[in-house]
Structure 1
Amino acid sequence: MKKVSFSVLPRGPHRRVSDVPLPDKSLVAGAIQATPSPLSRRRFSSGSAATSASVIRGGQSTFGQTLFNSIAILLGVGMLSEPLAFAYAGWGIGTFLIFSYGFMSCYTAKILARIILSDHRLRSYSDIGRKAFGPKITPLISAMFCLELFTVCVILVTLYGDSLHALLPRYPSNVFKGWGNILLIPTVFLPLSLLSYTSIIGIISTVLMVIVIFVDGFTKTESPGSLWKPAHTKFGVTSYGELGVAFGLFMAGFSGHAVIPSLARDMSNPTRFNTMINWAFIVATFIYSMIGYAGYLMFGNDISDEISMDLLRTPGYNPLLNQICLWMLVLSPLSKFALNTQPLHATIEILLGIDKHISSPEDLADKPDGLSIASIWASWDRKRILRVAQRVLLTGAIVMVSILVPDFSSVMAILGSFSAFMLSIVGPVLAKVMIERHCSIFDGVIIVIGIVMAAWGTLAAFT
């Protein structure tokens, strides 16, 4: 049998992540159908692995399901603050930033997918960091992306509670958050292939909200809130502090990279991931731009943190349409919660010992009979109980933090400025550079820009 190196991405300067092609479709199909025997597992040596180790194993989600999941992750609550970001950055820089961030985020998403699909041992964002930077940096990377996902989930619960409170003011938002906890717990046990159907709900909710914004804008003939008579806007930047906040608000919409490895790993045909993610970012950038442009024209420099609040407060709109818009803001967070917590649960389960870190064929080579069915069965009940407990407790903790820290705009700005830049822009490019042992001019520019904007935006958000 021909033997190859276990590491698919060599650490030499002559081989780059971008040069490693996605696997041929026949290899993916073979990996799905093949089931190695205990004899073949015993043939792994300490210095090499069988060729099957380098073959990417497909998951359960189809191209369409993964596309729906990706779009649902990207079209997050950050879209509500896009008009405010344009108010801070102005038309010129705002347009440049939103399209630049969309392009860079799509580029780094492909980097993450290529790395994780090139090594079947990798399962999560933190595994990629472990491969690129070594085990010492893994706790820091895991903490950063867990904090980002936790913050996003807190924002989702906050938006759900505030929207329901606006619809039913008889009860405070905290009561609705408590009820939402009961609804969210069952969803965190669903597989990604089933969560794609809830992603459809989130995408439909987003599209309907965009429609409501434009219908309101075109049916109202007087300012504010009219697209026929736009409010006062500006082309350039008037405050560098506000520009820094705009960095975070724009970038918050593209902060779904912690979920990208899970989506790529679960795709049944990983060879089409690049095509899928291109379409996902095109759709997300287009919708973000439409919401930002329309909202800024309708309310100008007096736009609120959330455009939904302006639609609710401004007289002259069709009340039924605004009710529909708010109900969409109730359904959308509920449909995205489980997707955002999926990699968070995976990381915590690894820390608790429920799941394993990166494993190697050498671990199986030391066991002549492979993995014992009896040992697996003995630990299965304990692991299942721990898995259920941690998912229920984590969901409750997210709801509790949302109740204790209800400030929407501040959390959004800090999320985009620090977490999104470091995890969605700087982190993937640095991982690529460390694995390749080579840094191109393009990658170097992205790293520098990402660090500068992260520091600038975070300082501006706190100030």
Structure 2
Amino acid sequence: MEYVSVPTDIPDEQTPLLEVYDQIGPKSTFTQTTVNSLNLLMGMGLLSLPFAFYKLGWVLGLSLLVFFCMLACYTAYLIGKCMEFETGVGKLSSFYDIAYMAYGAPGKYFMVVLFSLELLAAAVAMLILFADSLISLVPVLTPFKPQIMIGSILLLTPLTWQKSMSKISWVSFVGVLSLIVLTVAILWDGITSPVGPGSIFDPQQTNMWPEDINQIGLGIGLLFVGLDGDQILNLGHAVFPSLYLDMIEKKRFGKSVSITYTIVAMFYSLIGACGYLMFGNEIQPEVSQNLPLVPSFNVLLNQSALSFIAINPLTKYALIVHPVNSTIEGLFNIYSDTLTILSRTFLSFLVLLIAIIFPSFYKVMGFIGAALSFMTVVIMPTACYIRLSWDSVSWWSRFAHSCIIVFGFGFMTFGTYGVMTV
């Protein structure tokens, strides 16, 4: 990491924001930006990747995964291009700035609402994931899933009352650790098991093509949710502007995201393929749910993986809902401590109510991927780029990017319909 001197004078309002930012260290190198991007994108969505392959079949599953990675990579590149546009007081600094510059206040508020909905849905998914993981560890608790979620909310809600997240932000490393342990567990189980189910060398029955066309929409949502970043802490494309600003060699941002999504495509393909080969058409909506069902697996390793996955949502719940709480409080001018506690408690119980009504982790994740992620990853970045570059690009570029938006709306509509009708 490279450090530069901090300016001693305060810039005036006409000083371009990007120039001020460039004077403040520390800054990230090309390699560090790429690693940060990988950490940003590797999320709990990979738990449902093998299940998505089951719904889509090998041909469609692998093809769409590669295509979606390419699409998300290109729109991340477009965000970097948008960051280069000059405004009246300098260059842009966030996704909200991009939306505001392209479409005014409505664009900015639309993105605020969209990101808040994604985080709210992610909170619901994490509450369900905790209950499912605890049940996998202690199967006798299966009939008590609603009670587990109620108890979890009662314990977690007080953590949301503090306005600063600095005291609990240290727990974010648990998410990365849980993914590493889960990946090791799956690969180790698959390699060391001589016969199936659960062996890579003795593959179970799988499908080349979807068995049910009505399930394709759900599979699309589950595939795409993993490309919108770790839904638990941040939203992938929403954070790319910050990574761009923090990069020393900003001209290499496009290459950085290309490498990032290439690695993501390989890693996600590996996890999805291994999980589907090991358990075939008996794959559970969360691959972690299959681990306790095979007696020959390493019990200690699998129990550790399930324990980390169970703990992960609990450690991150307050971080998930914090931006949503802040948005609500700013919108309704809530400043007193009493009203803050009431507002945040109400939001937590709203999360609980949604989780009880829609208790399927894979359906919630599929909804995030289909209904919300296509908007944040594909449609909005492309629409903002077209608006900002309209006078400087050819008609062919306008047409091509308009087609991307149309494709994005098509996948979003088809996927959302598929998830809602399952």
Deviations 1:148-179 (A, max 9, x none): 22101211222123212432455752255236
Structure 2 equivalent of residue 373 of structure 1: none
Partners of 1:34 and 1:346 lie apart in 2 by: 32
1:77 to partner: Cα distance: 2.4
Structure 2 equivalent of residue 185 of structure 1: 160
Partners of 1:252 and 1:446 lie apart in 2 by: 18
Structure 2 equivalent of residue 369 of structure 1: none
1:251 to partner: Cα distance: 0.3
Structure 1 equivalent of residue 273 of structure 2: 293
Change (3 A) 1:320 1:251: same
Partners of 2:222 and 2:41 lie apart in 1 by: 14
Name the amino acid aligned to 1:236. Answer: W
Partners of 2:105 and 2:274 lie apart in 1 by: 47
Name the amino acid aligned to 1:351. Answer: L
Contact 1:61 1:266 in 2 (8 A): no
Aligned ranges 1:47-62 → 2 under 5 Å: 50-53=14-17, 55=19, 57=21
Name the amino acid aligned to 2:156. Answer: N
Contact 1:123 1:262 in 2 (8 A): no
TM-score by length of 2: 0.79
- Percent identity reads 27
1:276 to partner: Cα distance: 5.3
Contact 1:73 1:340 in 2 (8 A): no
1:460 to partner: Cα distance: 1.6
Structure 1 equivalent of residue 242 of structure 2: 265
Deviations 1:27-60 (A, max 9, x none): x957x525336xx55xxxxxxxx34345252677
Does residue 1:33 correspond to 2:10, yes or no?
no
Structure 2 equivalent of residue 323 of structure 1: 303
Contact 2:156 2:318 in 1 (8 A): no
Deviations 1:313-370 (A, max 9, x none): 233322222211211212333455455446545544542458xxxxxxxxxxxxxxxx
Name the amino acid aligned to 2:417. Answer: L
1:221 to partner: Cα distance: 2.4
Structure 2 equivalent of residue 462 of structure 1: 420
Aligned ranges 1:161-240 → 2 under 5 Å: 161-168=131-138, 169=140, 172-178=147-153, 181=156, 184-185=159-160, 189-190=164-165, 195=169, 198-240=171-213
- What's the RMSD between the two structures over aligned residues? 3.7
Contact 1:68 1:200 in 2 (8 A): no
Contact 2:27 2:247 in 1 (8 A): no
1:180 to partner: Cα distance: 5.1
Aligned length: 398
Structure 2 equivalent of residue 255 of structure 1: 228
Aligned ranges 1:395-414 → 2 under 5 Å: 395=348, 397-414=350-367
Contact 2:93 2:241 in 1 (8 A): no
Partners of 2:369 and 2:330 lie apart in 1 by: 27
Contact 1:61 1:268 in 2 (8 A): no
Higher Cα radius of gyration? 1
TM-score by length of 1: 0.73
Contact 2:18 2:91 in 1 (8 A): no
Name the amino acid aligned to 1:402. Answer: A
**Other structure's SS at 1:134 match:** helix
Deviations 1:183-205 (A, max 9, x none): 8538973359x94x544332221
Structure 1 equivalent of residue 114 of structure 2: 144
Partners of 1:294 and 1:313 lie apart in 2 by: 16
Partners of 1:429 and 1:89 lie apart in 2 by: 27
Tell which deviates more after alignment, 173-182 or 310-319. 173-182
Change (3 A) 1:442 1:204: farther
Partners of 2:285 and 2:305 lie apart in 1 by: 16
Gaps of 5+ in 1: 1-24, 42-49, 355-381
1:82 to partner: Cα distance: 0.6
Contact 2:4 2:25 in 1 (8 A): no
Structure 1 equivalent of residue 409 of structure 2: 451
